Amino acid sequence: MPDGTSVQSILLKAKEAGLSTGIVATAAITDATPAAFLVNADSRSFERTIAEGILKTHTDVLLGGGADAFGINPFTREPKARSLMNQALEDGYTYVFDREGLVNLEITENLKLIGLFMGGAMSFEVTRFPTEPSLTEMMARALEVVEQNSKGFFLMIEGSRIDNAAHSHSFEEMIGELLVFDEAVGLALEYAHRHPGTLVVVTADHETGGFGVTSGVPSGEVLNYGWLSTGHTAAMVPIYAYGPGAELFTGTLDITEIPVRIGELMGITDFPAVLDVEETAQSH
């Protein structure tokens, strides 16, 4: 919390309740949003400390960028001596480092999966290397792992690089990231159609850049647009929900209210969950 009080995330509360958990991001998994679901840290720049904390959560699926923080050799893609990845392997994780390894992986019972596909953030979709899986490919594999739990799962999927493209006013890269995120939302809705007990919530933590279409034609052949900022703006962001309890996500909500309502739907009553000093010390 802003005053330094450590709290337990909704993902960790879900794990405590016996659900499977997973994180999929196109940023490094030590980056702000994915890490916030897993650890408490004084600064987002403490990547190794954050990576250590992530492994201590024993989250079932971790897919994205961030290989550098886990001590992966950028050339061989193997763990360096005394790297955090060696600890992950000792803890029972299966490690993959490229698209082929991910899409061809046999999904076995009780699989714990960590896939780190770039040293830092993954590439923009429009320039993605063939060795990198797409957001939807990572998401599909993550679903196969976590859906094995009969109690259910909590899976956080982030189209991380929409924000990066908007910071630099990179229109083509931003649109590419939005389109692949739209595919991921479509995959989530298809899954929810097949599994009626699934709730899908889609939102963002903030807007970036103040992008706006100023004029154009319906065919899209002419499109004029502008930006207000290279930073985050105060513009409200939409929230969409589908599935059981979707009606709880209508109207104008503070972002901190969203996990509270998700927790209610999962039967988690002690949320927000404030950690005491002893618990915080043990988690680091």
What residue segments make up the domains of the chain, in order of their start? 7-203+238-283, 207-231
Question: What distance in Å separates the CA atoms of residue 173 and residue 175, rounded to the nearest whole number?
Answer: 6
d(CA 142, CA 63): 8
Handedness of CA 142, 143, 148, 150 (dihedral sign): positive
CA end-to-end distance (rounded Å), the chain: 17
Which residues partner with 94 through β-bridges? Answer: 113
- What is the pTM (predicted TM-score) of this model? 0.94
Q: C-alpha dihedral over 131, 118, 189, 110, to 10 degrees?
A: 90
Q: How many residues does the chain have?
A: 284
Nearest to 112 by CA among 134, 88, 135, 79: 88
* DSSP category for residue 72: B
**For residue 283, what pLDDT is reported?**
46
Please list the residues that pair with 226 across neighbouring strands.
Answer: 212
In sequence order, the 6+-apart residues with CB closer than 8 A to the CB of 238 are: 202, 203, 204
Number of Cβ within a 10 Å radius of residue 35:
25
> DSSP characters for 183-194?
HHHHHHHHHHHH
Asked if the peptide bond before residue 272 counts as cis, ω within 30 degrees of 0, the response is yes
CATH architecture of structural domain 7-203+238-283: 3-Layer(aba) Sandwich (3.40)
| Amino acid in position 148 | Q
Task: Print pLDDT tens along the chain (284 aa).
Answer: 667 778 899 999 999 999 999 999 999 999 999 999 999 887 888 888 999 999 999 999 999 999 999 999 999 999 999 999 999 999 999 999 999 999 999 999 999 999 999 999 999 999 999 999 999 999 999 999 999 999 999 999 999 999 999 999 999 999 999 999 999 999 999 999 999 999 999 999 999 999 999 999 999 899 999 999 999 999 999 999 999 999 999 999 999 999 999 999 999 988 887 876 554 444 44
CA atoms of 144 and 92, how far apart (whole Å) = 18
Q: Which two tokens stand for residue 33?
A: 């949003």
At 1 the pLDDT is: 65
Contact of 158 with 32, CB cutoff 8 Å: no
* Pairwise CA distance, residues 267 & 260, whole Å: 11
Identity of the residue numbered 8: Q
Give the count of beta carbons closer than 10 Å to the beta carbon of residue 47.
19
State the Rg of the chain over Cα: 19
